[in-house]
Structure 1
Amino acid sequence: MTRQPYPPASRLELVEELHGVPVPDPYRWLEDPNDPATKDWLVGQERLLETGLDALPGREGFRARIAELLGSGSIGAPTWRGERRFFMRRTPGQEHAVLYTVDPGGTERALLDPMALDPTGLTTLDSWQPDKEGRLLAYQVSVGGDEESSLYLMDVAYGDRIEGPIDRCRYSPVAWLPGGEAFYYVRRLPATEVPEGEEQYHRRVYLHKVGTSTEEDVLIFGEGLEKTNYYGVAVSLDGRWLQISASRGTAPRNDLWVADLQASSHSSPDLVVVQEGVDAQSALHFGRDGRLYVFTDREAPRARVCVTDPSDPRFENWRDLIPQDPEAVLTDFAILDGLDRPVMLVGWTRHAISEISVHDLVTGERVGEVPTPGLGTIGGISERPEGGHEAWFGYTDNTTPPSIQRYDARTGETTLWAASPGAIEVPAVDTEQVTYRSADGSEVHMLVISLPGAEGPRPTILYGYGGFGISMTPGYSASVLSWVEAGGTYAIAQLRGGGEQGEEWHRAGMLSHKQNVFDDLHAAAEHLIATGVTTSSRLAISGGSNGGLLVGAALTQRPELYAAVVCSAPLLDMIRYELFGLGATWNVEYGSAEKPDEFAWLHAYSPYHQVREGVSYPATLFTVFQSDTRVHPLHAWKMCAALQHAQASDRPILLRNEAEAGHGARAVSKTVELASDQLTFLAYHTGLTS
């Protein structure tokens, strides 16, 4: 790749003093996407990208193979309501998964196809929730990747849209009351009622009656509380109990209330505190047996299940049913009470590998385990709302496309319920789980995926995330398989900040401890090199969103350790991140530059502010999305300009700025193009030739 001249980018002599520290910001002008200078710069970057990528070998091969592997399609677990079931499926060749229903007579039909709603493929189905009888469906869609969901109602029997759109419903749960006449939901206040710049916040819980205007919706909860609060809302199967939860942004804690809707009205529920002002997360499940089941990490960072009386749900009345495990993290549970001896199925992850145990519902005694297809990831356990003896769960691993498994508690057997619909040939790979020591001696786990019998050193991609308690578990990935099949190694590090070892593991990588996450990644790289898997000249790192912050920090802290970087939808200006997108909801994870002590640790690693002239940085590809309303692409724009100015070597710094795409769901064809560009770039700069 011959280095081309970078598009000119003026450097401002802009230095702010924050808490006594001078903070330069030479590319602040790139924060304005409507500035003609920004537009010209982006056009120049697009031309540079085209010139750079078009010259690289292997692009068509990666594109074809990724598309082929994505031809497996996908399948979702069934949701049972009344005499109907609902599920998602994507068949080979489809751009988006389609929502299906199976009617009482057994007839399957497509209910919602995003491509039928919008043949351009830019509309995504963000969420859906049938009413308790399966007669009405609430669903949310957004366009162009902006995730600004609009809520609609559908008559399931006829497929007719009967209400909507209701706007400002991003991330809104829908909690139906029995009979389908009304539901609780979450909606932001209108922009005219909030301060400028806070339009993404100020959510409230409302009660909506079907067939009436939203102007008549009743405000239930949220007035006068923290502007960045997210709210959860749910109604028990029998309609008696309402629960509302509130969390400040993405904080690993929530407040929780319940109301007895038999003792108070739907429009004015008498909410009773279950948990408030406590540094823990809890959720409630109202059992058909009259007991209240509490899923919580309160005094149990690896989580536990407690039971109590719903009429007095205070903490002092909680009793352990499934205690905290010293090693595994409790992730999920389901109740099967259509048996002589009712049981609870409990999902766990042990070093990020999923398992399910079976327990007596009354005593909590472990009485067995659920057979699973392999060492992989279980995607939730579901049962029929009215109970029974069956449960369903999703399963995937590094070579297995998503499938739905059915467990029968009468026989103790697990069988395949539904496979991903596409028949494809998946390469055989070896997956090894290794452990290594980080800078402070902490033991960290890592999955290393390669072809059987492969010898090193090999071109290697090291991937990580390390934030928000999100676990890196095994899963089917067309990108990973394409890379490994071409002769590379793919490593996934389970860094602090994630949830692989419970909430303590998460908190060891957040706020003032964020440097631990970066140290864990550096140590993973050093382990791969020391064990002969790769060398620094053949090692790439990749991450997106919070993982983009991770690799952005890594390339500035240890530029000599990595040959290439893909940095996708990243946070990189950690001094001003709260001012854009959903940034203000993340200060509970990162801290706020408004506070002197928190500014100090943010400034110490903020990638944009750590770029130094005259340093040989790795070849770097930033991939961002113009409609991203979570992480504004300005982070990558500013960092790209800074690196292009500072780069002392001939390794390229490129920007892939995609229009009409956002942070989350996208059409399959867009996924193929993005992944093939990323792998082509990394293959060239690590020496992978397929």
Structure 2
Amino acid sequence: MTDPLDDDPFLWLEDIRDPEALAWARGRTDETEASFSAPELAARLKTILDDPDRVVVPSRHGEWMYDLWRDAANPRGLWRRASRTSFLAGSPDWDVLLDIDALGREESTPWAFAGAAHAPRGTDRALVFLSPDGGDAHVVREFDLAARSFVAGRPFMLDADKSHAAWIDADTLLVGTALEGGATTDSGYPRSARVWTRGTQLAASSPVVEADQSDVSVFVGVDHTDGRSTAIASIAHDFFHTERYVWRGGDAPAHLAVPDDAHTNVHGDLVAVRTTTDWKVGDTIHLGGTLLVGPLETVTNGDGSSLVPVFTPTDTAVLEDWSWTRTRLVLTVLENVRSRILSLDPADGWSATELQTGLDTDDILTVDVVTADADEDDELFLLARGFLTPQTLIATDAATPAPRVIDQAPAVFDATNLATTQHWAVSADGTRVPYFQVAPRALEGPAAVLLSGYGGFEVSRLPEYATIQGPAWLEAGGVFVVANIRGGGEFGPAWHLAALRENRHRAYEDFVAVARDLVARGVTTPERVGCHGGSNGGLLVGNMLTQFPDDFGAIACGVPLLDMRRYTRLSAGASWIAEYGDPDDPADWEFIRTFSPYHLIDPAHSYPPSLFYAATSDDRVGPVQARKMAARLLDETDAEVHYLEQDEGGHAASIDNAAKAALQAVIHAFFTDALVRRPGAGD
């Protein structure tokens, strides 16, 4: 096989803004949009996404609740805040801080809001992050919340790059940026974290930590618990191994003496550590997935023996996340991929109380802690939802639980005769793999099935309200399935590690096992199974197309990795070597080539219809791999191949509700055509 680094006829498509490459993408996009035009569905989805009655999922900062609100009149959004009292009363007194659409018109830049970082208590300022095209690169501007305007005199400002910034105090930031001599890593992220004082030149500030060019990035954060600022600067050597340092001014930062593959969180004088692999401390072995808590001071002095395990995983129960309130540590636990929220009391030996939602439903729910203010009180806001249960915002208390529904989104499709069930497939090596199925209660196969998955980076796929799939797929009698394959985090770090690098094939074997289990159960037939994935999930379904084409009737592949020989040389690809391996290492390439869809294309094979989509502005994966895959399939095979590329939107592939609705309408029209309407697909 010819090495594409030397001889790849589609390398010209890697020049993202080259006029010829853009013309190719535009021509293919026009054909795709014409073939799968679904204006009524697009209009309906946009109306749903713009619904003024949808739930606001806020962030809390002291006595204020913040939100970015998008609707038909404000497609880029209104950044706003309301008092906590009015929000809890169900009648928030929203005060618009920044109109993103108006700002874009004023500055002739189509800004997308990329978040905000609030100054410590007592300073009504925030850093506002704005992306010029929806990509990861963004500008940083200081904002006066009381005046509702950007700060004019000696503000903190950064031009567009993939920066990180956090407040140390009202006049000091900890920043990770490549600007003003900061330089970038091979992955395109900042190499240094620096303390920046108001009124000084950023280039004159000294680094707190500095990464090597071969590292992934530096990251920054500041903990303000109890009014004391503790800066945290991290050097990510790869995606899963990070050195962390704490700094409280003065001398050099102190190294946090925990395993580099652990996840950590500083909370005042405490540190929480979640292990990834087993950690031996003295004579004690803490299993991977264990959460330990102890004094920050002893850990920075190199003594991990003072850490106390507050959660230990089992075969079925794993830690998904954790949050602090004033007096409690709140855990989000997955028990066989079902959510539980536990409130731990450190004053009572870390005793646990399970927090309830108060919802009466037989649907399988995902419940997350969406906001808490550890400096204020024990109040928590939980977000509960299931495939058939609209988002429901619940206020409760971590110390004295009393759940109260604050708001629930209206249903956007009729779920009366639908049910969510959990099933288990058996993978090639005998591992049982769970999946969720949303289908009519009285299902009569074979039905058209839309199967989704991810399987990477320890990301869990949990039930989410079917805002898109409900109106676009379920209402028409389709079945929607989410597979919880290895590579994800549904059963803790071990579930992820099981499909890493040379074991990547396990994720793909898991996914096709689910597709085959659906057939074996009589739910469907292979020609009526479609699969859809994005990013790492795009790599997943790209491998379904090239390795298991007979098991699927159609494949939609979004913002994907596909050329695994060159992925480290494209956009942020070098940052994922720990997940996939290094293709420039001959030993690694021997296993990477087995899951590189671009190199698995065989002109002698028949492939199901496929749709590839991307965004020109995607600066994380980029559109080039989707372009090349579609071009090569069109050139070398007889396959039916469609391609769609939007300009804005970055890695999300759509920048506002209208663009998202239009993209989803095309995707579902493609699946409806391939799996439902075509001869041989059934009536």
TM-score, normalised with respect to structure 2: 0.88
Q: 1: distance between equivalents of 2:414 and 2:58?
A: 23
* Amino acid paired to 1:175: A
Report the CA distance between 1:88 and its aligned residue: 3.8
Q: Within the alignment, does 1:200 sit opposite 2:194 as a pair? A: no
Q: Deviations over 1:278-330 (max 9, x none)?
A: 3522212324xx44443444533323132235254435334224131202221
Given candidates 75, 85, 88, the residue that maps to 2:56 is 75
- Per-residue deviation at 1:336? 4.2
Classify the secondary structure of the residue corresponding to 1:15. coil
2:355 aligned partner, one-letter code: V
1:655 Cα deviation (Å)? 0.7
Match of 2:166 in 1: 175
Does the 8 Å CA contact 1:463/1:491 hold for their aligned counterparts?
yes
Q: Give the aligned length.
A: 647
Change (3 A) 1:592 1:409: closer
Q: Of 354, 368, 371, which residue of structure 1 is paired with 2:356?
A: 371
Partner of 1:53: 36
Counterpart in 2 of 1:5? Answer: none
> Structure 1 pair 577/371, CA: closer, same or farther in 2 (3 Å)?
same
Given candidates 11, 21, 27, the residue that maps to 1:38 is 21
Which structure 2 residues correspond to residues 214-233 of structure 1 after superposition, within 5 A? 214-222=202-210, 224=212, 226-233=214-221
Larger displacement relative to structure 2 (549-558 or 41-50): 41-50
Quick one: distance in 2 between partners of 1:199 and 1:498?
A: 23
Ranges in structure 2 where 5+ consecutive residues have no aligned partner: 87-92, 279-286
SS at match of 2:592: helix
Contact 1:613 1:645 in 2 (8 A): no
1:360 pairs with one of 332, 342, 345 = 345
Alignment-derived partner of residue 567 in structure 1: 557
Q: Provide the rounded CA distance (Å) in 1 between the counterparts of 2:427 and 2:36.
A: 35
Matched ranges for 1:299-318 at <5 A: 299=278, 300-313=287-300, 314-318=302-306
Instruction: Judge conservation of contact 1:378–1:396 (CA < 8 Å) in 2.
Output: yes
* Alignment partner, residue 307 of structure 2: 319
- TM-fit CA distance, 1:362: 3.1
- Which of the residues 254, 257, 274 maps onto 2:256? 274
Please point out which of 260, 266, 289 is paired with 1:285.
266
Identify which of 663, 667, 672 aligns with 1:674.
663
CA contact 1:203–1:231 (8 Å) conserved in 2: no
Shift in CA distance, 286/681, structure 1 to aligned 2, threshold 3 Å: same
- Equivalents in 1 of 2:65, 2:166: separation in Å? 18
- Corresponding residue number in structure 1 for 2:283: none
Q: Which amino acid aligns with 1:66?
A: L
Partners in 2 of 1:210 and 1:50 — Cα distance? 50
Answer yes or no: is 1:100 the counterpart of 2:80: yes
Q: Which amino acid aligns with 1:113?
A: D
State the secondary structure of the residue aligned to 1:188.
Answer: coil
Match of 1:62 in 2: 41
1:353 and 1:95, CA in 2 relative to 1: closer, same or farther beyond 3 A? farther
CA positional deviation for 1:39: 4.1
The 5 A counterparts of 1:400-439 are 400-409=389-398, 411-420=400-409, 424=412, 427-428=415-416, 429-439=418-428
Task: Please report how far the alpha carbon of residue 425 of structure 1 lies from its aligned counterpart in structure 2 after TM superposition.
Answer: 5.3
Farther off after superposition, 593-602 or 637-646: 637-646
Whichever residue aligns with residue 405 of structure 1, its letter is I
1:166 equivalent to 2:158? Answer: yes
Match of 1:177, SS state, is strand
Partner of 1:347: 332
- Aligned match for 2:3, one of 7, 13, 16: 16
Alignment of 1:601-616 (within 5 A): 601-616=591-606
Task: State the partner residue of 1:118.
Answer: 104
Distance 1:222 1:378 in 2: 38
Q: Aligned equivalents of 1:641 and 1:678: distance in 2?
A: 19
User: Does the 8 Å CA contact 1:493/1:524 hold for their aligned counterparts?
Assistant: yes
- Aligned pairs for 1:600-679 (under 5 A) are 600-648=590-638, 652-664=640-652, 666-679=655-668
Q: Report the Cα offset of residue 363 of structure 1.
A: 4.4
User: For 2:116 and 2:533, how far apart are their aligned partners in 1?
Assistant: 29
**For residues 443 and 503 of structure 1, do their structure 2 counterparts lie closer, same or farther at Cα, with a shift above 3 Å needed?**
same
1:74 deviation in Å? Answer: 4.4
1:128-172 per-position Cα deviation (integer Å, ceiling 9, x unaligned): 111112510111010222221100111111112013541244251
Q: Is the 8 A contact 2:211 2:235 kept in 1?
A: no
Letter in 2 for 1:273: H
Residue 478 of structure 1: SS of its match in structure 2? coil
Go from structure 1 to structure 2 and tell me whether the alpha carbon gap of 1:319 and 1:639 turns closer, same or farther (over 3 Å shift): same
Cα distance change of structure 1 residues 76 and 170 upon mapping to structure 2, 3 Å threshold: farther
* Pairwise CA distance, 1:658: 1.4
Alignment partner, residue 449 of structure 1: 438
| Conservation of the 8 A alpha-carbon contact between 1:438 and 1:519 | yes
Taking the aligned partners of 1:399 and 1:186, their CA distance within structure 2 comes to 41
Distance of aligned partners of 1:315 and 1:126 in 2 relative to their CA distance in 1, 3 Å threshold:
farther
- When normalised by structure 1's length, the TM-score is 0.87
The residue number in structure 2 matching 1:553 is 543
| Pair 1:622–1:17, CA change in 2 (3 A) | closer
Deviation at 1:461, TM superposition (A): 0.8
In 1, distance between residues paired with 2:552 and 2:85? 59
Q: Residues 193-248 of structure 1: CA distance to partner in whole angstroms, max 9, x if unpaired? A: 758x9582343212222344434544322154644224232233222432222223
Contact 1:114 1:121 in 2 (8 A): no
CA RMSD of superposed structures (Å): 2.8
2: CA distance, partners of 1:357 / 1:205: 35
Shift of 1:36: 5.2
SS at match of 2:533: strand
Per-residue CA distance 1:457-499 (angstroms, 9 max, x = gap): 1111111111111110111232221211111001110111111
SS of residue matched to 1:585? helix
Asked if the contact 1:430/1:451 (under 8 Å) is kept, the reply is: yes
